[in-house]
Amino acid sequence: MRSNQYSDKEIAVFNGLVGLLKQGKSLYKIKVSEIAKAANIGKGTIYDYFSSKEEAIYLALLYYLNNEMTRVVSEVESTSSFKNKIYKLLDITEENIESKYSSLKTVLSAKDISSMYDLIEGNENLIDSFINYMGKIMESIVTAGENEGYINKSYSSYYKKSAIRCILIGFAQFVSHKECYKDVNVDLAKEVAYTQLIKMLR
């Protein structure tokens, strides 16, 4: 596992790469020369900081995931009340799905990414890291829900967290394929998700 402290050049590579993804470039078609150009550095320079294209991509995704999730965690934690936290998460999910590139999307296809690139699925991999962050978020939400009386404390921890995860992924599914649900708009889908959650937890 590499240090969390990255040099300017490394961060330039990360930002360049994520920038390309946000422009809609497919992860599977990115060329080293494109990354270099997007990062405003020479092609060879990438190899001064990363041992391969694979590594550069992997670390970029990890870096971006960490940044993004750190932000999400703090946003949710700084949001008051159970209901607001849930809606905040649904909002973030919506944005993520709608954008050309997001960590959420990466995580949803992370198995494929690691199957494409022979990344050492070491201690710290994308999904583990993501699940870790989600754990913190769930924790924060469960605590709020219990304090505010929305959650029946007799449920197991897994049950409670699982319920939240469920409605999130279900909502993500909706956003991903809105066109299949012509009679449902986003706000309604959020309401449905929230209602379902309340029913599961009480």
Partner DNA sequence: CATGAATGAGGGTTCATTCAT
Partner DNA sequence: AATGAATGAACCCTCATTCAT
Amino acid at 196: Q
Binding partner at 22 among DNA, its own copies, none, C-beta below 5 to 8 Å by kind: none
Using the contact rule CB under 8 A, the part of the chain among 43-51, 63-71, 138-146, 174-182 near its own copies is 174-182
Q: At what angle do helices 126-147 and 157-176 cross, to 10 degrees?
A: 110
162 makes contact with its own copies (CB under 8 A) = yes
120 makes contact with its own copies (CB under 8 A) = no
Subset of 40-59 contacting its own copies (CB under 8 A): none
Residues 95, 99: Cα–Cα separation, whole Å: 6
How distant is the alpha carbon of residue 179 from its chain centre?
23
Per the listing, tokens 């092609």 go with 43
Structure tokens at 102: 């997001």
189 makes contact with its own copies (CB under 8 A) = yes
Binding partner at 53 among its own copies, DNA, none, C-beta below 5 to 8 Å by kind: DNA
47 makes contact with DNA (CB under 7 A) = yes
Residues 127, 130: Cα–Cα separation, whole Å: 5
Residues 70, 85: Cα–Cα separation, whole Å: 15
84 makes contact with DNA (CB under 7 A) = no
52 makes contact with DNA (CB under 7 A) = yes
Amino acid at 195: T
Subset of 10-29 contacting DNA (CB under 7 A): 29
Using the contact rule CB under 7 A, the part of the chain among 30-38, 94-102, 176-184, 191-199 near DNA is 30-38
- 170 backbone dihedrals φ, ψ, rounded to 5°: -60, -40
Binding partner at 186 among DNA, its own copies, none, C-beta below 5 to 8 Å by kind: none
91 makes contact with its own copies (CB under 8 A) = no
Using the contact rule CB under 8 A, the part of the chain among 44-52, 66-74, 78-86, 185-193 near its own copies is 185-193
Binding partner at 20 among DNA, its own copies, none, C-beta below 5 to 8 Å by kind: none
Binding partner at 99 among DNA, its own copies, none, C-beta below 5 to 8 Å by kind: none
Structure tokens at 67: 């940044």
Select from 201, 198, 197, 170 the least CA-distant residue to 184.
Answer: 170
Task: Pick one of 27, 57, 137, 175: the residue that binds its own copies (CB under 8 A).
Answer: 27
Q: How many CB atoms lie within 10 A of CB 20?
A: 23
